[in-house]
Amino acid sequence: MPIAFSKSDRQQVLVLYLSSSALDSSVIAWANYDGTGRMIHMAGDEDRPPYKSGLSALEDGWRLFQASPLQPHGSGDEFRTSYLKYEFFFEKIVTTGHD
């Protein structure tokens, strides 16, 4: 079902990085972006994660809209570590009352 979106609605985005592909695994890294402009988030501004797990974020009303796929490991590259693997994007739509 499409989400109604009015001119005064803004998107808040929460990015959670989990310890495995399971949505109920623990949060190891996170980021916040607030489209209402009410809160300015930045690197290093919180040392404690906002939620214990991705499931905890769902229980608090965040809507999951993207999850990173599981990729096979390339031959010869099986042991290389790089970017955080288990990235989940959540959103909340907030009515600001102004256009």
Partner 1 sequence: MTEIKHLTTSQMAQFAARGFLQLDTAIPDALNKQFLDDIGKSSEQPDSIINHYDAIRQSSTIPIVPAGTALRDAYPKGSALAKLLADRFVAGAIDSLVGLDCLFDHHFLHITFPEEMYPDAMRPVRAQNTHQDSTIDPRQAFDVQVFYFPHEVTLAMGGTRFIPGSHFRIVSEASIGRYQNVRGQQHVICPAGTVMFFHMGIWHGGGMNRSDQKRYMFKIRLCPSKRQRRLWDPNASYDKAQRAIFWTGGQQPDPDHLHSILTRPEKWFELDTGRLEYINRIRFWRYLTGDKNFDADYWLTRVENEYTD
Residues 6+ apart with CB under 8 A from 99: 7, 8
The distance between the two most distant Cα atoms of the chain, rounded to a whole number of Å, is: 54
Among 9, 12, 15, 35, binds partner 1 (CB under 8 A): 15
- Which residue from 4, 69, 75, 79 is in contact with partner 1, where contact means CB under 8 A? 79
How far, in Å, are 31, 61, 73 from residue 46 at the CA level?
10, 21, 33
- Is residue 14 within 8 A of residue 32, CB to CB? The reply is yes
Q: Annotate each residue in 54-73 with x if it binds partner 1 (CB under 8 A) or - if it does not, as one string.
A: --------------------
Least distance in Å: CB of 82 to partner 1? 5
Among 25, 56, 68, 96, binds partner 1 (CB under 8 A): 25
Count H helices, E strands: the chain?
1, 4
Cβ at position 36, least distance to partner 1 in Å: 15
| 86 makes contact with partner 1 (CB under 8 A) | yes
